[in-house]
Amino acid sequence: MNIQVSQHGNTGSGQAVSFSLTKGDQMHILHPEQIVAYRGPSDGRSDRFMNVNGMYRKRRLIQADMSGPCQFTAALPPGFAMKTVELNEGSDLLYEFRNLFFYSQGVTMQTRILRIKNMLITRDAVKMKFSGTGTIGILTEGAVCETELHPSQRFILMRVALLHILRTPNWN
């Protein structure tokens, strides 16, 4: 899947994110009201009701299903940024569904109830497990930084700063 995401502006005045889908690509936008421009065939965008679980988790009713070839631009509110995460075969990601902006075809989701220790740290009982191959876009309030973790080295992270952990099966 070839999705090109280009970011314009800075986080202080809002951010616009441009997407370009090629023929055969499919993407599900969970914040369709943020789409400000669309170029493509009329059947390339279809708005539909979310399923009941999605409505409850996102507190939204409608999602937009986009299929290529098309281009569209989404405007994010001031102070918010979007980060794309590529999921490969064998990797999985635990994240809050309500902060998900989009996901591509091939990404599967399962609800996971956290252990008591993790509930106390994250102050959340349920996370969504994303797996499969594809791309997801996560919304953040403020800046995002990435670092790679190693099993033999200590890394201390404040719990309020924890966004998500991408797990891979092998630590090579």
DSSP assignments along 67-78, one per residue = ESSEEEEEEEPT
DSSP 168: -
Nearest to 101 by CA among 70, 74, 72: 74
pLDDT band at 29 (very low <50, low <70, confident <90, very high): very high
pLDDT in the model for residue 170: 47
Q: What is the pLDDT of residues 73-88, one digit of tens each?
A: 988 888 787 888 888 8
Lowest mean pLDDT among 101-115, 124-138, 155-169: 155-169
Residue 102 has pLDDT above 90, yes or no: yes
Calpha distance 9→22 (Å, rounded): 25
| Token code pair at residue 9 | 């502006």
Query: Could you state, in order of their start, the residue ranges of all structural domains in the chain?
Result: 3-142+158-167
Higher pLDDT, residue 36 or 15? 36
The reported pTM is 0.75
How large a percentage of the chain has pLDDT more than 70?
74
pLDDT in the model for residue 160: 54
Which residues are CB-contacts of 127 (< 8 A; sequence separation ≥ 6)? 94, 95, 96, 97, 111, 112, 114
Residue 169 has pLDDT above 60, yes or no: no
Nearest to 138 by CA among 38, 9, 30: 30
pLDDT band at 128 (very low <50, low <70, confident <90, very high): confident
Lowest mean pLDDT among 23-37, 74-88, 153-167: 153-167
